[in-house]
């Protein structure tokens, strides 16, 4: 049993593809963004803390989000492997994840990176803004792309050096990308 990480800029279709891959492999899809949105909707202490940060497009602190992930991964339904979507998002979080996996006796199988050029990302995110997410205004979209470039993109080199990275072209139809994700992640031991 090993876990997977799905990496990619906001707007790359990461959530959609992560859900499909998790279903195909029979592992649990864990999205920190979805968990935080649920916490905001439920009005929990975490949600109260997260709401303003999320609405501004910034990141929660590494320690807070890592604690959320560790608590989630310790639950029984994660025993058959998980696909992490939205975590880690910084180099510090990648190191924290490594500690979490060690403590829980889990291993990281590989990291799938969905690659989409920036102009296409902006176009897709503005389209999605019509669905009404508070963090999808043009200003917040640009901030989220900047934060990805500064904080999250360094993870690409980090995981590449460790031989874990699988690059996937994120352009094309959803089904085409799903097929690429499937073949890029075939042969790993997560399922
Ligand atoms: P997402 O749906 O993954 O784009 O996440 C939505 C928002 O939740 C992000 O813009 C952050 O404010 C917050 N968030 C989600 N995952 C993390 C993380 N790993 N570290 C810090 N903040 C996060």
What separation in Å is there between the alpha carbon of 151 and the centre of ligand 1?
Answer: 12
Q: Is the CB of 40 under 6 A from ligand 1?
A: no
Residue in the structure block whose two tokens are 């296409």: 120
Q: Which atom of ligand 1 is nearest to the CA of 53?
A: 12
pLDDT at 135: 67
Beta-bridge partners for 4:
83, 110
Q: Is the CB of 8 under 6 A from ligand 1?
A: no
Closest residue to atom 2 of ligand 1, CA basis:
33
- Of 85, 94, 97, 100, the closest CA to residue 34 belongs to 85
Yes or no: say if 130 and 122 are a contact pair by the CB < 8 Å rule.
Answer: no
What separation in Å is there between the alpha carbon of 53 and the centre of ligand 1?
Answer: 9
Reported pTM: 0.92
Q: Give residue-wise pLDDT tens across range 50-93.
A: 999 999 889 999 999 999 999 999 999 999 999 999 999 999 99
Yes or no: say if 69 and 32 are a contact pair by the CB < 8 Å rule.
Answer: yes
Per-residue pLDDT of the chain (191 residues; tens, 9 = 90+): 689 999 999 889 899 999 999 999 889 999 999 999 999 999 999 999 999 999 988 999 999 999 999 999 999 999 999 999 999 999 999 999 999 999 999 999 999 999 999 888 888 877 777 776 666 778 888 888 999 999 999 999 999 999 999 999 999 999 999 999 999 887 654 43
pLDDT at 189: 45
Spatial neighbors of 180 by CB under 8 A, at least 6 apart, are 168, 169, 172
51, 60, 61, 135: which to mutate for ligand 1, most atoms within 8 A of CB? 60
Catalytic residues: 14, 89, 128, 133, 144
Q: Is the CB of 10 under 6 A from ligand 1?
A: yes
């Amino acid at each position: 049993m090993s876990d997977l990480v799905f990496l990619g800029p906001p707007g790359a279709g990461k959530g959609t593809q992560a859900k499909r891959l998790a279903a195909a492999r029979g592992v649990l899809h864990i999205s920190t963004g979805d968990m935080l949105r649920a916490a905001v909707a439920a009005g929990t202490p975490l949600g109260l803390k997260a709401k303003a940060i999320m609405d501004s497009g910034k990141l929660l602190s590494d320690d807070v989000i890592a604690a959320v992930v560790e608590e989630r991964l310790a639950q029984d339904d994660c025993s058959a492997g998980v696909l992490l979507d939205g975590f880690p998002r910084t180099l510090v979080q990648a190191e924290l994840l490594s500690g979490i996996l060690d403590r829980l006796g889990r291993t990281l199988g590989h990291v799938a990176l969905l690659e989409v050029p920036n102009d296409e990302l902006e176009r897709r995110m503005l389209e999605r803004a019509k669905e009404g997410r508070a963090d999808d205004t043009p200003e917040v979209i640009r901030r989220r792309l900047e934060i990805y470039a500064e904080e999250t993109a360094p993870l690409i080199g980090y995981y590449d050096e460790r031989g874990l990275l699988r690059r996937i072209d994120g352009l094309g139809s959803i089904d085409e990308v799903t097929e690429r994700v499937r073949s890029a992640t075939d042969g790993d031991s997560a399922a």
